Amino acid sequence: MRIKAIYERSIALQGNIANAVVDFSKHTVSLVAIVSDQVRNGKTVTGLAFNSIGRFAQGGIMRERMIPRLMQADPTSLLDASGLHFDLSRISANIMRDEKPGGHGDRAGAAAALELAFWDLNAKLADEPAYQHIAKTLEQTPITQGVPVYAAGGYYYPGESSRKLAEELKAYQDLGYRVFKIKIGGAELAEDLSRIETAIKVAGDTGAVAVDANGRFNPSTALAYGKELAAYKLRWYEEPGDPLDYTLLAELGEHYQGSIATGENLFSAADSHNLMRYAGLRPDKDILQMDPGLSYGLTEYQKILALTTAAGFHRTQCIPHGGHLINLHIVTALGLGGCEAYPGVFEPFGGYSTQCRVDNGRVMPSDAPGFGLEQKTELAPHIDHLLGI
């Protein structure tokens, strides 16, 4: 078995929103296809994936560094002992050949898109959904009754914030969501508290509302917000300051008794190790959001999980950033704590296919082979285009 071709294409994210730090309409994502020489049911078996959501496409790094390494490798050196599947440790090592340690940024997304496409390919070779294939390969017991999913959004509506926010969250309820995450820090504290009260009223439970500061607070503002947020007993308080400011997280954790969520902007096991060492996070309450699609893929994410487990965190404390089909399969396979979704934004990558019904706050992958990206109607035309169909 060998790789016949690797295709990648940069696709604009339909993020018709801004979070006051960045304008998502400028963001792009790399869609990747690994074309094998294998045929199943008369069709060439092709692995598909993308580098999650919220950063940028990485065509340059893939084309100039990583794809040539994969194409120049001895094909058998990339396979497992049976020769029937690609060996993901070998694939990962090959993608990273001649890369130095440190500097875990854009290349982590480039490597992830490629690595995850091999997981999709392996699952399709076995003719099973990726969550089943991943669970089997990593000797895990997958979740079979659907995983918890929350709706992220909770935007600002200047002038008529409360009414429009309530409408937005009610629309998510109609779609089957029960837990919401809303933005904070884009208005004065008093207005943010009023928005939180609106969200709690719609959700019917303080524990069904999380807030996200998108890293915009300086330490004193982060602490001031924490003081006021504590009384609400929210689901969590996400990314108060710079993602690398572990000292800020440790200070906040000393004063804020609720859950803190962080990790979506840490892209490696080495950075996650420092988060475990220095941020004072509390294994019984804090939430870890590292995203395999931004962090070299599932091989590195297993190392991250080993570190967080060693630090005392149960897997259900891990709720990856990036609400899409790839993370749904990973969360389901590994028994993690849940998934996010940004209903109506971040197309064509964000959200789930109609075959993965969101019901009463849970979502379950379909039985399609691999990650089932072909079933997502918004994404399917881009896949056809990438493959020249």
Q: Which residues bind a copy of itself (CB under 8 A)?
A: 10, 21-23, 26-28, 54-61, 63-65, 98-108, 215, 242-247, 265-268, 270-271, 273-274, 277-278, 294
Q: Which residues pair with 147 in a beta bridge?
A: 363
Q: Which helix (DSSP H) or strand (DSSP E) does residue 223 occupy? A: helix 219-229
Residue 387, number of CB atoms within 10 A of its CB: 14
Omega before 343 cis (within 30°)? no
Shortest Å, Cβ 307 to a copy of itself = 12
Shortest Å, Cβ 108 to a copy of itself = 7
Classify burial at 140, counting beta carbons within 10 Å of its beta carbon; exposed 0-12, middle 13-18, buried 19 or more: middle
Shortest Å, Cβ 87 to a copy of itself = 22
Residue 183 known to be catalytic: yes
Whose Cβ is closer to a copy of itself: residue 22's or residue 187's?
22
From the list 124, 321, 324, 382, the catalytic residue is 321
Whose Cβ is closer to a copy of itself: residue 171's or residue 311's?
311
From the list 181, 183, 329, 376, the catalytic residue is 183
Residue among 311, 257, 316, 319 at smallest CA distance from 292: 319
Residue among 339, 276, 330 at smallest CA distance from 304: 276
Q: How far apart are CA 136 and CA 76, in angstroms?
A: 22
Whose Cβ is closer to a copy of itself: residue 247's or residue 316's?
247
In the chain, % helix, strand, coil (3-state, to 5) comes to 40, 20, 40
Q: Which residues pair with 14 in a beta bridge?
A: 347
Whose Cβ is closer to a copy of itself: residue 120's or residue 264's?
264
Cα-Cα end-to-end distance for the chain: 23
CB 356 within 8 A of CB 373: no
Structure-token match 């020249």, residue found: 388
Residue 133 known to be catalytic: no
Whose Cβ is closer to a copy of itself: residue 79's or residue 386's?
386
Q: How far apart are CA 335 and CA 259, in angstroms?
A: 20
Shortest Å, Cβ 229 to a copy of itself = 21
Whose Cβ is closer to a copy of itself: residue 242's or residue 359's?
242
Omega before 240 cis (within 30°)? no
One-letter identity of residue 118: F
Question: Computed from CA positions of residues 109, 112, 116, 118, in that sequence, does the dihedral angle turn out positive or negative?
Answer: positive
Shortest Å, Cβ 101 to a copy of itself = 5
Mark 307-328 as b/e (b = at least 16 C-beta within 10 Å): bbeeeebeeebbbbbbbbbbbb
Whose Cβ is closer to a copy of itself: residue 11's or residue 166's?
11
Positions marked active-site: 183, 321
